[in-house]
Amino acid sequence: MKRTITTAMIGAALLIAGAFAAPAAAAADGSVQPDPQIAAMLESIPGGTAVDAYHAVWPELDMEMSVATPKRDAAATRSSASIASVGACATGKVCAFSLSGTNGAKLSWGTCNTSFPVGTFTVRSIADARSTGYVQAKYGTTVRATAYAGSWTNVYGSVSRITCVS
């Protein structure tokens, strides 16, 4: 009986260790498959690099994209947000979100006074977590939505660019 319990405990420990070791090993050899949203953006906007399966950066655009991990706890994410942030948009950034109310996958930029392509990313809300200026979601020259400093707004219709103005 004692031997059976010990064997079962060792087997369970090996299974748990294997579950945590596999993702680490995959990350070390570069074989991580990015989330489909990340992969689509990397294809549509050149110069990006996948940091991990749920995060990519475009250094020349000062742009980042992140998508929720499968086990992400929304309450924990909100509690770690800075007081000056706007929803899930960090202080000093402008952001576009795939869902309304600053939810879902996120594109964010740290520079301003320019226009950023959004590629295949579907924009449903934008936020401006800066102290001045505004950010606009545009389709061609048509403004779909404007978020002023310290606020966010939902976006209705197709978006091809995010424009940031100081």
Per DSSP, the three-state class of 78 is: helix
Name the amino acid, one letter, at 6. T
* Mean pLDDT score, 71-78: 47
Reported confidence tier of residue 124, pLDDT bands at 50, 70, 90: very high
Select the more confidently predicted residue: 72 or 28.
72
Residue 144: predicted pLDDT: 97
Separation between Cα atoms, residue 106 and residue 123, nearest integer Å: 9
Reported confidence tier of residue 6, pLDDT bands at 50, 70, 90: very low
Q: Specify the DSSP element, H or E, that contains 15.
A: helix 2-28
Select the more confidently predicted residue: 93 or 19.
93
Separation between Cα atoms, residue 149 and residue 165, nearest integer Å: 10
Q: Token digits for 154?
A: 């939902």
Task: Report domain extents, the chain.
Answer: 1-31, 33-165
Residue 83 has pLDDT above 70, yes or no: no
